[in-house]
Amino acid sequence: MASDVPNLNAHEARVFGVLIEKSLTTPEHYPLSLNAATTGANQKSNRDPVVDYLEAEVQVALQGLLAKHLAGRAQGAGQRTEKYLHNGRETLGLDDRGIAVLAELLMRGAQTAGELRSRAQRMAAFPSLEDLRETLAVLMERGFARRLPPAPGSRAERYAQCLTPGAADAEPADDDAGTTAARATAGERPAPAASLADRVASLEGEVAFLRRELSGLLADLGRTLGEPDPE
């Protein structure tokens, strides 16, 4: 049901998709550290748009996912680095196929069923296009995805994720034919402008991250944040 659909901003959506992707494609390197999650979010392959998030922005996104029960912390014995994993299966009630298709939508935006099957194959098996469509039907029934009209110059319907409000509405529609063809050839789509709320949240997270780092340094010196300098 739609009421069960988490509300994610663009940063959270990208990081959530990355956690899912890495859990299925490189389980030997999963869960992910903050650095690995940032690298995964910013990688240039299998991402649209390509972004350049700061670690502090990814930290804020992870905190948001933790609060929404879509991610958890994992720290093995003898490890000092905190790592993160996704709780998509448990929280959203999806199997590997469903979580794989959702991850592709989170990381690449609206796509046709054929594109989704080709790209999600690296995470879960889809023997036929019908298998992919059955998974999409489940996602749409649960309110996690929606069907979009074909892109200009195409007859194939597309599908978009619904976890990020307005994400599907931001997909290009009546674009100039020449510009659309050029973007399709380059495999590019203009990156949507980050909302003011997202930018403020990112900046607040960066400040909080820096305060924690500074507090740790001061603690090593036997001082606390806000304490006046000794005479």
What's residue 162's pLDDT?
A: 97
Query: What is the structure's pLDDT at 67?
Result: 97
**Alpha carbons 49 and 109: distance in angstroms, whole number:** 8
Go through the domains of the chain in sequence order and give each one's CATH number.
2-186 (1.10.10.10)
Query: Is the CB of residue 172 less than 8 Å from the CB of residue 164?
Result: no
CB atoms within 10 A of CB 13: 23
DSSP at 161: E
Q: Is 80 exceeded by the pLDDT of residue 177?
A: no
Sign of CA dihedral 175, 153, 132, 119: negative
Compute the half-sphere exposure of residue 3: CA atoms within 13 Å on the CB side of its CA: 0
| Residues 127-175: tens digit of each pLDDT | 999 999 999 999 999 999 999 999 888 899 999 999 998 876 655 443 4
Rg (the chain; Cα; Å)? 20
pTM for the predicted model, two decimal places: 0.73
Q: Is the torsion defined by CA of 13, 3, 120, 28 positive or negative? A: positive
Separation between Cα atoms, residue 183 and residue 162, nearest integer Å: 24
Beta strands at 83-86 and 145-148: parallel, antiparallel or unpaired: unpaired
* pLDDT higher at 81 or 147: 147
> 189 pLDDT band (50/70/90 cuts)?
very low
